[in-house]
């Protein structure tokens, strides 16, 4: 799942009307992938494969359900090696929150929920806040970008 608060100028490129600043966009599964430039999906065929024409409101690619199928990490790594943009992989029950195209927080509804930055060099674990920790969100402007 991805939750993104993005500026109206970014959304205006894809919508005939500009969205008000502070609009929250959210999605799970394919609804997570769509905000990125690309992603891994089985929405169009029975097999997993790349989606290369996401909206591009968030940079890179996305792979939800990272832990739900043994071959999903393999397919994601293969597609990144073939030119899919590097991106974020989220286990089921894990959500990433972005503000102005910057990752600010990853949370999980599960104790064992994981997230990774995936690039041609492999999987790089990202910090995930488990459900039992209720820490305040980062202040606006304190957002960080995914490590490259």
Catalytic residue among 4, 62, 65, 108: 65
Tracing tokens 């992603």 back to the chain, one arrives at 39
Confirm whether 65 is a catalytic residue: yes
Catalytic residue among 29, 61, 68, 108: 29
Beta bridge partners of 116: 89, 125
Q: Are 94 and 64 in contact (CB under 8 A)?
A: no
Confirm whether 7 is a catalytic residue: no
Query: Strand locations in the chain, DSSP E?
Result: 2-6, 23-27, 36-41, 49-51, 58-63, 87-90, 94-99, 102-108, 115-119, 122-125
* Helix ranges restricted to H, 13-118: 30-33, 72-81
Q: Are 88 and 126 in contact (CB under 8 A)?
A: yes
Positions annotated as catalytic residues are 29, 65
């Amino acid at each position: 799942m991805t939750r993104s608060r993005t500026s109206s100028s970014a959304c205006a490129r894809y919508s005939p009307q500009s969205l008000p600043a502070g609009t929250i966009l959210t999605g799970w599964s394919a609804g997570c992938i769509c905000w990125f430039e690309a992603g891994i999906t089985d929405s169009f065929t029975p097999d997993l494969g790349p989606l290369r024409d996401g909206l591009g409101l968030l940079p890179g690619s996305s792979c939800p359900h990272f832990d739900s199928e043994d071959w999903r990490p393999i397919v994601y790594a293969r597609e990144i090696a073939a030119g899919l943009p590097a991106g974020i992989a989220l286990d089921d029950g894990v959500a990433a929150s972005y503000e102005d195209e910057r990752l600010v927080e990853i949370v999980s509804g599960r104790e064992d929920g994981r997230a990774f930055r995936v690039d041609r060099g492999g999987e790089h674990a990202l910090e995930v806040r488990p459900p039992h920790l209720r820490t305040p969100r980062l202040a606006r402007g304190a957002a960080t970008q995914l490590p490259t």
